[in-house]
Structure formats: C-alpha cells, structure tokens
C-alpha cells in the first residue's frame, strides 16, 4: 500500500514537472503577473447608495475585480448624481466621461426601443428565463450588437426577480380608475400604462419618494418590498399592488465603454466578465432573501396588499401585444430582437409550465 502511494505520488510529480516544462521559458513568451498594468476606472450608477441590493451589486463587482487582480485594477462606483444623474449613465459611458456604468437598459429606450429587452418586457421572462435567454438563448449577443452601435459593451449585472406592481395612494380596480393617474413607471411598462390612460413619469429612484409623498405623482413603481421600503415608498402610499406584470424578471446591466474595454489586457477582460457573472447571481439570491423578509415587515406596518384586477391585467396584456407589434413595425432592430425573443419565450413557457409551474402551484400556489 505504502509503495503504491509512493509510485502514485511520483507519477503525479512527474506529470506536474512535465506540465511546468511545457510552459517553461523555452516554449515562448510568458505573461507574468508583473506585466499587468495598474488601471483605475470610474463607474457611474443609476442607484442611491442606500440600496445595498442595486448599489451593492455594483460595489460587489468592483470589489471582486480588485481582489482578482491583486488590487491592480481598481474601479470606483459612484451613486446616482455623484458624477451624472441616475438616468444619464449610458450617455456617460458612451461619451467616455466614465469607463463603465451600472444601470438598466430600459431607461434608454429613447435611444433604441430594442434596449428594453435587455431589462424586461411586460408579460415576458422571469429571472430564470431571462438569464437563460441572455446566456444561452442568444439574447446577450443581440443586446451586445445594439450596444456596440453606441460604442458600449454590456454584461448582465443582477436581477431583482419578479417585481411588485407599485404603490398607489388610492385603490385602482378598473381601467377607468387609471385614467389621468400620474405614475412613475419607466420602460415599455410605462408605454403600456400610457396606452391604458396613465400619465407616465420617468423619475430616477432616489427622487421617487419625494415626488410621491408631495403628491407630484399619484403612484410609483420601483422594485420590490426591500428596495421600496428603503426608499420609504410605504410611507407615501398605502396600497401595494402585485404582480409587477411589466417586470417579471428584470436584468440590470454593466455597461463598458468599448474603447476602454478594447484597451484592457485580455486577463482583465476575463476578470471583468467573471465578476459580472458573480454579481448577477449574487444579486438575485440577495433580493429573494431580503424581499421575503421586507414584505412581512411592510404588511405588519400597515401596507395593504392588493392584486391587480383581471380587467386591468387583461387590458395590459392586450395593450402590450399591440405596442410590441407597433414598435416592431417602426424599428427593424426591435423587430429582429422581438421575433427571436418571442420564439424563445414560447419554448421556455412550454417547458417551465411542465416543470416549474406545476411544482410551484402545488407546493406554494
């Protein structure tokens, strides 16, 4: 037994020596850690620092990059308003005033409506399906093609899971109740609400509470129980609706200036990609834990939960389909992504109806 161990150890030792030899000085140029440069970047984000979920995801990414490069590649994340406003992150990355950013693609649908797919589409994909589409369903390639036209490369950077349907000062039961209501809701969800008669406002997260509390708006959606409570939205409105049919699994994005990206050593590009993967997983797991705890707190402190009525849900679904078709007829890029995405959605819905939904309905439905 002892002899056999020795033989095995010797064999392993030999294999290691052979591997080292193959990569030794005689085999060509070496990349040594010493040759990797010190690089300092700034990251603009769309989030207030108080949100340990969203700003926390940006912080985690930068921390992991520093750790994986032994402190040589330093990225400093800035809260919304510190360098640029929360909804100006893409512009700042595009012009190169910062090298990178953390934001949500659908804040920028004014630049190209197809950017909405990078975050979430009403009645679209849940978080698991969104990650499947991005990483293995061709979605990320499509989104990167669009971002490249703005001189940016993007990577998924977090997901909140299915969001809540927002805070209302008064109950809304019918589509008639939505007429003229001033609501903070961005992206395609906002466009659908506009079709239903809502007066839609796009306001950065840090400013939502004041707008709702002072009555400048009548309703606001942000994310879910944890983030909404942190912003104090429960103190400005009592009725908390669900589900957030416009954001069943929204992704956040890291945006990187393409020329800054191209100047990075290959090793740093790989480190960045790895850190975005890690942040993406970390964020969703964190949200699921914090949201479930925060919902219990909200209910016990007086928040009234209300489901959207079937009338509103059905009208919203119909308006969404009309809107997506209208947009596809206006914007060829939107059409290209929409058709690919729609086929993916149909396929994943069929599969998840069998495995995920049947289990969920039985276990906690």
Question: Closer to Ca ion at the Cβ: 107 or 155?
Answer: 107
CB of 267 to Ca ion, least distance (A): 36
Question: Closer to Ca ion at the Cβ: 130 or 163?
Answer: 163
Cα(74)–Cα(82) distance, integer angstroms: 18
CB of 334 to Ca ion, least distance (A): 21
Question: Closer to Ca ion at the Cβ: 87 or 264?
Answer: 87
Is the N-terminal amide bond of 36 cis, ω within 30° of 0?
A: no
Judged by CB under 5 A, the number of residues near Ca ion is 2
Question: Closer to Ca ion at the Cβ: 137 or 248?
Answer: 248
Cα distances (angstroms) measured from residue 167 to each of 231, 261, 325, 346: 12, 40, 29, 31
Which string of x and - marks every residue 15-34 that binds Ca ion (by CB under 5 A)? --------------------
Q: Do residues 319 and 192 touch, judged by C-beta distance below 8 A?
A: yes
Question: Closer to Ca ion at the Cβ: 94 or 159?
Answer: 159
CB of 38 to Ca ion, least distance (A): 38
CB of 224 to Ca ion, least distance (A): 8
First to last CA, the chain: 57
Question: Closer to Ca ion at the Cβ: 247 or 327?
Answer: 247
CB of 173 to Ca ion, least distance (A): 22
Question: Closer to Ca ion at the Cβ: 160 or 303?
Answer: 160
CB of 46 to Ca ion, least distance (A): 12
Which string of x and - marks every residue 161-190 that binds Ca ion (by CB under 5 A)? --x---------------------------
CB of 359 to Ca ion, least distance (A): 27
Question: Closer to Ca ion at the Cβ: 288 or 336?
Answer: 288
Restricting to residues 217-256, name those near Ca ion by CB under 5 A: 247
Question: Closer to Ca ion at the Cβ: 98 or 233?
Answer: 233
Question: Closer to Ca ion at the Cβ: 119 or 276?
Answer: 119
CB of 164 to Ca ion, least distance (A): 8
CB of 93 to Ca ion, least distance (A): 21
Restricting to residues 124-163, name those near Ca ion by CB under 5 A: 163
3-state secondary structure the chain: CHHHHHHHHHHHHHHHHHHHHHCCHHHCCCCCHHHCCCEEEEEEECCCCCCCCHHHHHHHHHHHHHHHCCCCEEEEEECCCCCCCCCCHHHHHHHCCCCEEEECHHHHCCCCHHHHHHCCCCCCCCHHHHHHHHHHCCHHHHHHHHHHCCCEEEEEEEECCCCCCCEECCCCCCCHHHCCCEEECCHHHHHHHHHCCCEEECCCHHHHHHHHHCCCCCEECCCCHHHHHHHCHHHHCCEEEECCCCCCCCEEEEEEEHHHHHHCCHHHHHHHHHHHHHHHHHHHHHHHHHHHHHHHHHHHCCCEEEECCHHHHHHHHHHHHHHHHHHHHHCHHHHHHHHHHHHHHHHHHHHHHHHHHHHHHHHHC
Q: Do residues 359 and 138 touch, judged by C-beta distance below 8 A?
A: no
CB of 184 to Ca ion, least distance (A): 9
Q: Do residues 323 and 195 touch, judged by C-beta distance below 8 A?
A: yes
Where along the sequence are the contacts to Ca ion (CB under 5 A)?
163, 247
């Amino acid at each position: 037994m002892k002899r056999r161990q020795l033989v095995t150890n010797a064999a392993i030792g030999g294999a290691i020596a052979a591997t080292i030899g193959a990569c030794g000085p005689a085999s060509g140029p070496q990349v040594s850690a010493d040759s990797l440069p010190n690089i300092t970047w700034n990251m603009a984000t769309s989030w207030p620092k108080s949100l340990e979920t969203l700003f926390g995801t940006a912080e985690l990414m930068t921390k992991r990059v520093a750790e994986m490069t032994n402190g040589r590649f330093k990225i400093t994340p800035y809260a919304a308003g510190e360098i640029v406003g929360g909804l100006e992150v893409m512009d700042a990355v595009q012009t190169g005033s910062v090298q990178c950013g953390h934001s949500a693609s659908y804040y920028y649908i004014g630049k190209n409506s197809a950017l909405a797919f990078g975050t979430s589409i009403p009645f679209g994909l849940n978080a698991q399906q969104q990650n499947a589409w991005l990483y293995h369903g061709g979605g990320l390639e499509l989104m990167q093609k669009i971002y490249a036209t703005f001189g940016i490369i993007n990577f998924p950077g977090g997901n909140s899971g299915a969001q809540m349907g927002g805070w209302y000062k008064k109950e809304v039961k019918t589509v008639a109740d939505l007429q003229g209501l001033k609501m903070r809701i961005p992206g395609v969800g906002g466009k659908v609400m506009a079709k239903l008669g809502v007066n839609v406002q796009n306001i950065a997260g840090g400013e939502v509470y004041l707008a709702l509390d002072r009555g400048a708006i009548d309703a606001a959606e942000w994310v879910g129980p944890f983030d909404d409570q942190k912003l104090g939205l429960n103190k400005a409105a009592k009725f908390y609706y669900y589900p957030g049919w416009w954001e069943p699994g929204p992704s956040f994005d890291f945006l990187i200036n393409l020329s800054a990206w191209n100047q990075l050593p290959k090793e740093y590009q790989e480190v960045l990609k790895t850190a975005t993967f890690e942040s993406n997983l970390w964020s969703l797991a964190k949200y699921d834990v914090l949201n479930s705890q925060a919902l219990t707190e909200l209910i016990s402190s007086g928040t009234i939960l209300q489901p959207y009525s079937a009338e509103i849900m059905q009208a919203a679904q119909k308006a969404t389909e009309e809107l997506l078709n209208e947009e596809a007829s206006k914007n060829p890029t939107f059409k290209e992504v929409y058709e690919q995405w729609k086929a993916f959605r149909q396929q994943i819905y069929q599969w998840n109806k069998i495995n995920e939904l049947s289990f969920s309905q039985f276990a906690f439905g």
